[in-house]
Structure 1
C-alpha cells in the first residue's frame, strides 16, 4: 500500500493543522490519534486477514516518514505502538509466535507503548534498574521508574522489563512483560514539559509493585548482550521507524526552505528572489543532496529486515548507523532551512522553529551517537583491549 493511500492528503493536512496547537499547549494529540485509529493506521502491521493493512517494515517506515512531515511529535509517539506491532511481525516472519497476541490485540484496538527506558541505564536492553520479583503463581511484581513513556495518556498495554537479581544462580535474569492500563500499582507523572516533541507526552511512569500476570510475561533473558530474536526485532523496528520519523522532519524542512527561498526577495539586488542568490542555492542543494542519500539508506535497511537478510554481526552496526545518519542529517537539513529562511524562522510559532526544537530530540534516542560509534567500531575493529 502506498503511504498516500493510508495517509491521504486531507487527513495529513488536518494533522498538520493541529500540530502547532498541541506544541503550544503542551498537549497530547488526542484528535490525531482518534483519526489515525479510525483510518486503520494503528493496524499497519496487522495481517489483512485480521482486519489490518498487512504492511511490512519498509511500508510502515514510508508511512511514518510521511506522517512526520505533518506532525513529528504525533509520528514519534505513534512509533511506540508501531514498534511493538512491528516486533511481533518481525518475530513471526522468523517463526517466533511469542508475540502474536500483540497483533491480535492491536487488531481489536489496543494501543501499545514502551516502558523500557530508565534514567542512568546506559545498558539499554541488556540490564535493568527495575526490580522484577517472581511470585508463586508465575507472575512478577515490578518496582522501578521508567522514563520517556510516550503515549502515556492513551496506551492500553505498556511493555516493560526488569531484573530478577536472584535468578540464574545470582547472575540475574531480565523479565519482559506487558502491563494493562487497569492494573493497580503504577503512577504516570505529569512531568512532560520539554523543548520539543511536546505532543508525545512521554511522561515518567513509576512502577510501585505493579503485577504482570504469568500469561503476560513473554521473555526471560540473561543479563548482558545476547542473540535472542526479541532483541534483534526491537532494535530493528525501533531504529528503523525512528529513522523514518527524522527523515520526515528533514523532508519537510527542505520543502519549507525551498518555499522561503522562492518567497524572499533581496532589496539590494533590485527585488530579485533569493532563489537566484548563489549562497542560498548552495545551501538548498546541500540539504537536498543530504536527504537524497538518506531515503535509499532507510528503504534498504527496512527491506533487508523484511527479506530476512543475513548480515550476521553487522546487523546492529547497520541499524544504529541508520539511526545516527537519519537524526544527524535531519538536524543538518533543518539548520540549513533556517539559514535559508532568514530571521523570520526565529520567531515563536513558525513551523521551522518547531522543527528545530523537535529535531534536537534525535540525539537522545538510543542508540546515541557515542554508543552507535562504539557499536560500529567494535564490529569492524574488535573490542577495546583491557
Structure 2
C-alpha cells in the first residue's frame, strides 16, 4: 500500500466537513484539464467536477504523481502548468470585475456594480489570519486541543470568504497560506489548500475565472507552493493596481499585507524602506491621508517590531493613538491594532505593567464593541495569558485561560465524542 506523501497528525485534523462532491468517474487530472480549457461564461446547475471517490485522497495524489503509467498522457502533466494558468485566471478575473474603481459582481440573476471601498468585506477584522496566528501560538505552547478547535474556527470562515467575491479575497487567502508555510505549519497549509479546492467545486463555477482560481490554487504542489503563492500574490496586486483608483483603501491594504508577509519575511530593512516610500506617496497625494497614513504607520510599526526596534515601535503605536483621538474617522480596528502594537513593544522592552495595561485596554475595547466571544479579543486574551505565565502569575493566567476556552468553544470533534459518550 502506498504511503501518504504528507503525514497529517490527528491533532490538526479539522473536522469541518467539506461540501459534498458529485460522484463521477473522471480522473483528477482530467478535472484540471477541463477547467483550464473551458473558460466560458455559461452557468450550469449540473455538477462539473469531482475531487475523489471514496478512496484516500492523499494515497491517490501520491499514485498519480509518482506512477506515470496510471492515466498519464505522453505530454507533460497538467499540474506543471497550474501556476501559469493561475496567473492567467487572476488577470482575466480582475479585467472583467474591475472598471474605473468599481467592482462588478456577476451571478445567475445578472450583475451588480459597487464602488470598491463601499463593498461589504466578509473578513473585515481579518479573523482568518488571526485564527491561524492564534492556533500557531497554541501549538507552540503545547495546547493541542485548543489548537485543533481554533483551526476549526478558521476553516469555517473560508466558506463565506470564497462565496462572496471581494477584491481582498485572494489577498486574505494568499497571506494565510504563506503565514502557515513560513511558520512551519506545512501540514495545516496543505489541508487549507485542499479545503479551498473542495469548496471551489461547490461554491463557484469552475468554468469561469473566479472558480478556476480556487481550483488551481488548491492544486498547487507542495514543493513549489511558497514561490507560486508569492508570484500569484504579486500578479493579484498588479491586476488590482490596474483596476482600482490610485489611492483605494483596498489597494493600499493589499500592498501593505503583501510587504508584511513577503518582503518582511526575507528582508526587514527592505520592507521598511518600501513602507516609507508608500508613506511619502500617500502623504503627498492622497485625499484620504488622515485615515490612510495611520494605517501605513501601523505597518511600519510591525516592520520595526520585527527588526527589534522596540522603542521606535512603541513611539509609532502611541503616535497612531494620538492621531486617533483627533480623527474620529480612524477605525476602531486600527485603534485596537495600535494598542496591541504598543503593548508588544512594551513587552519586549520589559515594561511589564504598561504592556499588560495596553493589552487589557485593547481587549476591553473589543469586548465592549463585539462582546466577550469576539475572536480577536480571544486572540489577545490568549497572548496575555502567555505573558502572565512567563511572569510567574499562573493564577491570573488560569483565569484568562478559562475566558479564552469559553470563547473558543467546542469543535466538531468534541461534539462527536460527546455524542459517542451519550
Q: Report which of the two has the higher share of strand.
A: 1
TM-score (normalizing by structure 2): 0.26
Bigger Cα Rg: 2
